[in-house]
Amino acid sequence: MEKQPRKKSATTLPYRVALAGGWGDHNFVNFLADGYVVVVQIQPNLTFHDRCGICSSTRQILVDKYPGGIPEDIDKYQLASDLYYWENATKVPIGGSQDAWGSVYPGVTLLHYDFRHHNGVLPKTVTSIVNQRTAKWFENNFWIVDCVGPRPEGYNPFDSGRFATKKVVQQLGQSGQDCFTAIKNRDVDALGASFNLCSYAWRKMLPAIFEHPTIDVPVMKKLRYYQKKYSGAMPSGCGVGYIYVASSEPVEGGFQVKVNLE
């Protein structure tokens, strides 16, 4: 009897968190300078809000496409490419591809975007860390805190304009590279600094991430509180559903995750 390939059950499909460098997967950004985005795949042992930057909609597409589970021997780059195009077939505005790559690649992954490669929408290189020691360190030094919750209806991160400049995009890319290096070296202060740099670049480039008429939570006040008290902090994405905090000590109101390595 022919041996059937193992499959990853649809009920155990992981989530992903996007760390420093986000928006570097959009070509209006990486047209100016290369993008570097860090994503971490996490186990589905927690319930997250929808529309909070945890990639729940991308995960649902995988569940729908592979109800019997994803074959473990599938080509990951091709699956992530397919997932990106499936999700954006009817989506306006088009989302970035780090959602797809973070949903498919286990561990901690650095995605490098070059505008000359597929017009900057797919990563040119994918570098992953999948060792247990690094994963355990990350689990002990990464915290998630509730902030706005689900993005409000009518929210659009472009409503206050897009102010991408070469300098800001370079800072954004540097934050992604610094973030990956910090995790690789298990340096919590460097991880926090990368979060802070990413937040700074986002605020310069897309101010509506932080302040928008539909958001009644004092996002910047909360973010600065965590940045000053701990090693560093950044939003989970547009609308700031959560705040990510780097800290070797417990964070008030924070919870932790488990990295998926399989």
Q: What is the mean pLDDT of residues 221-248?
A: 94
Instruction: Please check whether residue 1 lies inside any domain of the structure.
Output: no
**Average pLDDT rounded to a whole number, residues 223-245:** 93
Q: How many CB atoms lie within 10 A of CB 255?
A: 11
pLDDT tens track for 22-78: 999 999 999 999 999 999 999 988 777 676 566 677 888 998 999 888 888 899 999
With a pLDDT cut of 90, the percent of the chain lying above it is: 73
Residue 260 belongs to some domain of the structure: no
Burial class (CB in 10 A: 0-12, 13-18, 19+), 149: middle
| Per-residue 3-state assignment (H helix, E strand, C coil) for 134-183 | HHHHHHHHEEEEECCCCCCCCCCCCCCCCCCCHHHHHHHHHHHHHHHHHH
Which segment of 38-52, 149-163, 208-222, 224-238 scores lowest on mean pLDDT?
Answer: 38-52
Query: Mean pLDDT in the chain?
Result: 91
pLDDT of 91 strictly over 90 = no
Give the per-residue pLDDT at 57.
79
Residue 19 belongs to some domain of the structure:
yes
In a domain, 64, yes or no: yes
Q: 261 lies in a domain?
A: no
Task: Return the pLDDT at 2.
Answer: 44
CB-CB contact of 245 with 145 (8 Å) = yes
Give me the pLDDT at residue 52, please. Answer: 59
Distance between CA atoms of residues 85 and 78, nearest Å: 11
Does pLDDT of 173 surpass 50?
Answer: yes
Spatial neighbors of 152 by CB under 8 A, at least 6 apart, are 214, 215, 239
Identify the CATH number of the domain in which residue 152 sits: 3.30.70.890
Strands (E) located in 181-235: 232-235
Please indicate, yes or no, if residue 262 is contained in any of the structural domains.
no
Sort strands 242-246 and 232-235 into parallel, antiparallel or unpaired: antiparallel
Q: How many domains does the chain have?
A: 1
Answer for the pair 17, 236: CB distance below 8 angstroms, yes or no. yes
- Higher per-residue pLDDT: 239 or 120: 120
Q: What is the pTM of this model?
A: 0.93
Domain span at 140: 7-255
